[in-house]
Amino acid sequence: MRLLRIVPDNTRFGFVRRRVISFPFSAAISVATAVLLLVWGLHFGIDFTGGTLIELQARNGQADVATIRHVANSFSQGGVEVQEFGSGGVSIRVPVQPGGEGAQGEVVRKARDAFGKDYEFRRVETVGPRVSGELVQSGTLGVVLSILAVLAYLWFRFELPFAIGAIIGTMHDIVLTVGFFVITRIEFNMTSIAAILTIVGYSLNETVVVFDRTRELMRRYKTMPLEELLDLSVNTTLSRTAMTATTTALSLLALVLFGGEAIRDFAVVMLFGVIICTYSAMFVSTPALLYLGVRDAKAKTGGPAQTPAVEGPF
């Protein structure tokens, strides 16, 4: 039986020479992300801002968004955000009310009285200002500590030039993921923190696979030009990379289509992350090694003169 192959064996694509396109493109997108982050900012969820989130589902037909917005504004102090989603679904976001938890609970009670007859309450979440502040601190601390742990791992796992190349790729993926949040206006909450941390792990995995093959080939082909060697590294792991990315993307696509509203945003962000991580491993992290002196670092660390490398796809 002939095995299914997403990419053929013995490919010879010139990934590294495409850096004249990929580097300016990634730099431009990163700068645009920084500008948009300053101008638009992230669309923070109630996890970080505090308030009440109510999701309704019309019992019959479509939701009357205009009426819901008018009624919701009548029992809330401050602007109420009302958005329609799916078929007959409506989300109501009420900011923190003066009076603490009692006032927030009163908003929910009034909403049930006003909409309970025509709408089903699918989700009700209330977060006070103190809790939201603690979540901001814990979420930020979690991301920072996780990134520092990844950097420490890279430092010990590879020689310094390889570690720097992996760090460049990982930070590139984080920046573009944040840009995706800014552009799409997907709600940024604690689930988004989990998505970013998962993308960091996936990015690291993709980069480590290529860099491991690069080190093997450097021991075997000591006189091969570095650009050619890096292309060989990416090509010999391309089949594995394509299979991993495709199977992961198909799973996430199923969650996007059939997973429901609760998990859809997470799946969409992860699907974007898989694409970006695969791109950066081939067109950002690996070409960056050209400018980081990997051959000099390898010569200093020494090592066995000949280590056979496994030919073909990883």
Whole-number pLDDT of residue 280: 94
The count of C-alpha atoms lying within 13 angstroms of the C-alpha of 27, restricted to the half-sphere facing its C-beta, is 7
CA-based nearest residue to 190, from 264, 260, 135, 262: 135
Whole-number pLDDT of residue 210: 92
Paired with 83 in beta bridges are 91
Report angle CA 237, 165, 180 to the nearest 5 degrees. Answer: 85
By DSSP bridging, strand 51-58 and strand 81-85 are unpaired
Whole-number pLDDT of residue 40: 92
Residue 240's Cβ-count burial label (10 Å; 0-12, 13-18, 19+) is: middle
Q: How far is CA 247 from CA 111, 126, 255, in A?
A: 43, 37, 13
Whole-number pLDDT of residue 309: 40
By DSSP bridging, strand 51-58 and strand 89-94 are antiparallel
Q: Is 16 helix (H, G, I), strand (E, B) or coil?
A: helix
Distance CA 104, CA 298 (A): 61
Whole-number pLDDT of residue 306: 40
Any idea what DSSP says for residue 289?
G
Can you give the pTM of this predicted structure? 0.78
Whole-number pLDDT of residue 296: 57
How does pLDDT run along the chain (314 residues), one tens digit per residue?
Answer: 555 666 777 788 899 999 999 999 999 999 999 999 999 988 887 777 777 888 888 888 788 888 888 888 887 766 788 888 777 888 888 877 776 677 778 888 888 888 888 888 888 887 765 555 676 777 778 778 877 887 787 777 777 888 888 889 989 999 999 999 999 989 888 888 889 989 988 998 899 899 989 989 988 888 889 999 999 999 999 988 988 999 999 999 999 998 877 788 899 999 999 999 999 999 999 999 998 877 655 555 444 434 334 344 43
